[in-house]
Chain A
Amino acid sequence: EAQVTQNPRYLITVTGKKLTVTCSQNMNHEYMSWYRQDPGLGLRQIYYSMNVEVTDKGDVPEGYKVSRKEKRNFPLILESPSPNQTSLYFCASSLRPKTVWPDSYNSPLHFGNGTRLTVT
């Protein structure tokens, strides 16, 4: 079954204790990204990756790190979590857009099941 798998689903931790949220996709997608979802703010992008070893900051990257050593995996790392990082996190993947000049055909995102993180 084609899917994006995130772990863990729930995580409660304390300020400053490093943690990693894993994300893996089995659809051979080039693009992967991380979002956080907060009430009234929608989905905001944290980091994204266009391919292996290619990552870049999204809209809210402060306090997060990522790596893309393999095409299928894109872990999210919080080196020193703080209470303001309490949120619902989603990993997503998609195909690379196809370009048939003059148009480009973007692809929909496939989301993981989410990780609810609480930092006390």
Chain B
Amino acid sequence: GENVEQHPSTLSVQEGDSAVIKCTYSDSASNYFPWYKQELGKRPQLIIDIRSNVGEKKDQRIAVTLNKTAKHFSLHITETQPEDSAVYFCAASDLEGGYQKVTFGIGTKLQVIP
């Protein structure tokens, strides 16, 4: 089955700096890579996703890159703000027996220091 590793587990940055979270996956059949943000006490919510036929995607201050050959994908947050403080989960997804199987990383707790 799929295995997703996520680094780092915790990350502290000064407000205005950039933050990068990296993930690797093991199953070359995975073709969809969503990122979820979970604020304290709340549900995970999708913030950005990328499909395997795309190398990079950007949405305002957040971007995701994908290297299919190396099986790496990363989340980049620029000009960080205190409201970016949360736990971020990467995930890899493929169709397994007709079902969309989603495997999550362990999460990265991002703290943005004002």
Chain B CB count within 10 A is highest, among A104, A107, A112, for: A104
Interface residue total, chain A, C-beta cutoff 8 A: 29
- CB <8 Å contact, A103 and B34: no
Residues of A within 8 A of B34 (CB): 108-109
Q: Is B85 in the interface zone, CB < 8 Å from A?
A: no
Given contacts A31-B100, A45-B102, A106-B93, contact A90 B31 (CB under 8 A): no
List of B residues within 8 angstroms of A109 by Cβ: 34, 36, 44, 46, 102
Residues on A with beta carbons closer than 8 Å to the beta carbon of B46: 108-109
Give which listed residue, A31, A43, A105, contacts B89 with CB less than 8 A: A43
Tell me if B's interface is mostly helix, strand, loop or mixed: strand
Contact B95 A42 (CB under 8 A): no
With A50-B98, A94-B100, A108-B46 known as contacts, the answer to whether A42 contacts B106 (CB < 8 A) is: yes
Q: From A41, A103, A113, give the contact of B31 (CB < 8 A).
A: A103
Q: Encode contact with B along A74-100: 1 for CB under 8 Å, 0 otherwise.
A: 000000000000000010001011010
Which 4 pairs, one residue from A and one from B, show the smallest C-beta to C-beta distance?
Answer: A106-B32, A42-B106, A111-B43, A43-B104
| Interface residues in chain A, defined as those with a beta carbon under 8 Å from any beta carbon in chain B | 31, 33, 35, 40-45, 48, 50, 56, 59, 90, 94, 96-97, 99, 103-109, 111-114
